[in-house]
Amino acid sequence: MPDEVLNDISHRRYNPLTGSWLLVSPHRTKRPWQGAQETPSKNTLPSYDPKCYLCPGNKRAQGDSNPPYKNTFAFVNDYSAVKETQQDYHPETNKDDVASLLLQARPVTGRCYVLTFSAKHDATLADMTPEEIVPVINTWTRIYASHLSPSHPLNGQAAYVLSTIPENPDGEVTPPKHQLKNMQIFENKGAAMGCSNPHPHCQIWTTSTLPEEPGKELVNMRKYKSDTGRHLLDDYVKLELEKKERLVWENDSFVVVCPWWALWPFEVLIISKRHVRALVDLDDKERLEFAQAVQEVARRYDNLFETNFPYSSGIHQAPLDCTEEEAETSWFHMHFYPPLLRSATVKKFLVGYELMAEPQRDITPEQAAAKLRDCGGELYRKSLQ
């Protein structure tokens, strides 16, 4: 265990990926809980919903019809957050012009995709088998590979992977006309995370700029490698495998941990054990084992409070357009940020001190990992059917 005194005193923990700190208050978990004890929730969704704009064969909001797909289906988001073409905007900054210094803006272009995980309206990653999740990972990989810049250090590997992963007519997309900088794959699961449609799906946003979170991680990983000659997440994986206090699950290729610096109560990281720069570095075995890791997290989450557990998750990997140093510094990992704290309805909120000062948590990552380790086994709702 970490220094025993940390179980009883308030303290700050450092996040080496972002260079930030958070407050941990473990003594607050001793407060008595008088909240409701809830019964397990059942899945009441149909396997097909004629009104769902993501189900096979149905019409979407803009009038296009979905194909009769069997597993994954990718398309350009009908309501994209960024546009591929727009009016030019190139403002100049002048130190004598206060407005140009304080009211800065920069244009962002890109393209946003939606990718369904399954044709079944009532499925989630927790319900799917690893073998059923592999086509999702294959589609992520093909889309990432098709968007790499012509000079990208991973281009040779990407070409090989594209020749080995079978095409899915419903999962292919045409790359944008202009080279983009970054691809963010993410899933918002559940209404609590702002998901507007329960049909299992994720989003893929490709943008002309490198966003804040992966940008901060890349800066800190580069600094760590420059200072030590080693990879930050390589050292961290070895440390967690040695200590096992925050380890939730592992296989030959990946570890699942509640990170030392976790902000959300049951936040986890899936990290590759070897140096994987991006999806295109994974071989067939590793893609299956990545699918196993994703399924383990989703199933354990649902089992924890016997509910359809909400979360936001996302993959961080080498940018679409980067130098060889940036590609070599990158280390493939996937974040899961769930809001639930004590039950299916009691959530953590970032309010008050956390908005005005810094993030704070009560339950320690070590306690969270222990609870998640105990949530393996069959998905709880299978016994309710």
Report the relative pairing of strands 360-361 and 20-24 from DSSP bridges.
parallel
When computed from its CA atoms, the radius of gyration of the chain, rounded to whole angstroms, is 21
> Which residues 6+ apart lie within 8 Å of 188 measured at CB?
194, 195, 203, 312
Say how many Å lie between the first and final Cα of the chain, rounded: 40
- CB-CB contact of 53 with 116 (8 Å): no
Consecutive H or E run containing 98: helix 98-102
- Cα distance between residue 183 and residue 318, in whole Å: 9
Three-state SS for 65? Answer: strand
Distances (CA, A) of 61 to 52, 119, 325: 10, 18, 43
In the 8-state DSSP scheme, what is residue 347? B
- Cα distance between residue 214 and residue 186, in whole Å: 13
- φ/ψ of 27, rounded to 5, equals -65, -20
Q: Which of these, 214, 217, 222, lies nearest to 19 by C-alpha position?
A: 217
Consecutive H or E run containing 73: strand 73-76
Has 201 been annotated as catalytic? Answer: yes
In the 8-state DSSP scheme, what is residue 383? G
Q: Which two tokens stand for residue 161?
A: 């992977």
Burial 264-293 (b: 16+ CB within 10 A, else e): bbbbbbbbbbeebbbbbbbeeebbbbbbbb
Residue with tokens 């594209």: 162
> Which residues 6+ apart lie within 8 Å of 351 measured at CB?
none
Catalytic annotation, pick one of 121, 152, 199, 201:
201
- Residues that are catalytic: 201
